[in-house]
Amino acid sequence: MDDKARARFGEFAQSRTAALIRAAYLLTGDQHAAEDLVQSALAKTYVKWPTIRHEDPEGYVRAVMYRERVSWWRRRGRLRETLVGSPVEREHPDDSGHADLRLAMRAALLRLPVAQRAVLVLRYYEDLPERQVAEVLGCSVGTVRSRTHRAVGRLREVLPDAELVLELKR
């Protein structure tokens, strides 16, 4: 990879890491696991950077990230980590006024199977259409619809007061 491509990747990674970590946190429910997931996705993207369409490199990274997360639960062994010289540590302040709802939603999301959680994050947090979610997860649109239906139903069971909490906050 040439210096120009390395610089483009560095700029991309620096500008989009915070957003990627937020999405990864919703998938994992753990800040450290989210950071590891993003780091792993960025490392895989770096290798393929010269061949990626640069109109939407974030879409590629997110697809890697979601597939990686769905695959992690299948693996029983420990993942190998690569240590780096000096990690970039940044705080990402939470501007949300709905802390109680966020905590309840996080707990409810963690009770869902990983595949259902991934579908909800892609559909409602990332606001992707069903077809694009199916492409990212490597499944059919029908599978996306059924997982979404089951996941929303399960969330209603484990978090029945979510709508009430939202109404009280308005």
pLDDT digits (tens, 9 = 90+) for 95-104: 556 677 777 7
Q: Confidence class of residue 52 from pLDDT cuts 50, 70 and 90?
A: confident
Confidence label for 168 from pLDDT (cuts 50, 70 and 90): very low
What pLDDT is attached to residue 161? 63
102 and 55 both lie in a single domain = no
pLDDT of residue 170: 44
Split into its structural domains, the chain has a count of: 2
Within this chain, do residues 67 and 145 fall inside the same structural domain, yes or no?
A: no
Q: How far apart are CA 62 and CA 41, in angstroms?
A: 8
Please tell me the pTM assigned to this model: 0.54
Domain span holding position 62:
1-93
Q: Contact at 8 Å (CB) between 29 and 109?
A: yes
**At which of 70, 93, 116 does a domain end?**
93
159-162 long-range Cβ contacts below 8 angstroms, 24+ apart: 159/104, 159/105, 159/108, 161/104, 162/101, 162/104, 162/105, 162/108
- Res. 32: pLDDT tops 80: yes
Domain match, 78 and 144 both: no
Q: With left for phi above 0 and alpha for psi between -120 and 50, is residue 29 left, alpha or beta?
A: left
